[in-house]
């Protein structure tokens, strides 16, 4: 993403996309584009994958179960207990919230 857009060489493709996207035009917010090692080679026929999604809490959920604990063990003057929790999976409230693109 460091390849230059024009012969003038004043802006990279990544910066061009961030500045000229719909999000910037409508909301005044630049896109947050981050690399992910888990998307490399995960697309169709071993190609790279891109994923786009929103972080709006009304559209994406990540349920977390409250912490739980084991029964208390009494050892001499000490009291031992273990706390544990479980994580859920990402839930898309609306299917249009996420987009996957293969073949990059």
So what's the pLDDT on residue 1?
54
Instruction: Break the chain into its structural domains and give their ranges.
Output: 37-102
Helices within 1-104 (DSSP H only): 13-19, 22-27
pLDDT digits (tens, 9 = 90+) for 52-82: 888 888 999 888 888 999 999 999 899 999 9
Could you tell me which residues are beta bridge partners of residue 100? 51
Instruction: Look at residue 74 and give its three-state secondary structure.
Output: strand
pLDDT digits (tens, 9 = 90+) for 3-51: 666 666 777 888 888 888 888 888 888 888 888 899 899 989 999 998 8
The residue whose two tokens read 């026929």 is 45
pTM score:
0.57
- 103: alpha, beta or left, given left = phi > 0 and alpha = psi -120 to 50? left
Please answer whether residues 17 and 52 qualify as being in contact, where contact means their C-beta atoms are separated by less than 8 angstroms: no
């Amino acid at each position: 993403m460091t390849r230059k857009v024009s012969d003038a060489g004043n802006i990279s493709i990544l910066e061009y996309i961030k500045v000229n996207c719909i999000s910037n035009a409508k909301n005044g917010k630049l896109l947050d584009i981050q690399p992910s090692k888990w998307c490399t080679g995960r697309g169709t026929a071993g190609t790279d994958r891109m994923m786009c999604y929103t972080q709006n809490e009304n559209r994406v959920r990540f349920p977390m179960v409250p912490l739980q604990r084991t029964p208390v063990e009494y050892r001499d003057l000490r009291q031992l207990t273990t706390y544990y929790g479980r994580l859920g999976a990402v839930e898309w409230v609306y299917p249009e919230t996420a987009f996957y693109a293969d073949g990059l």
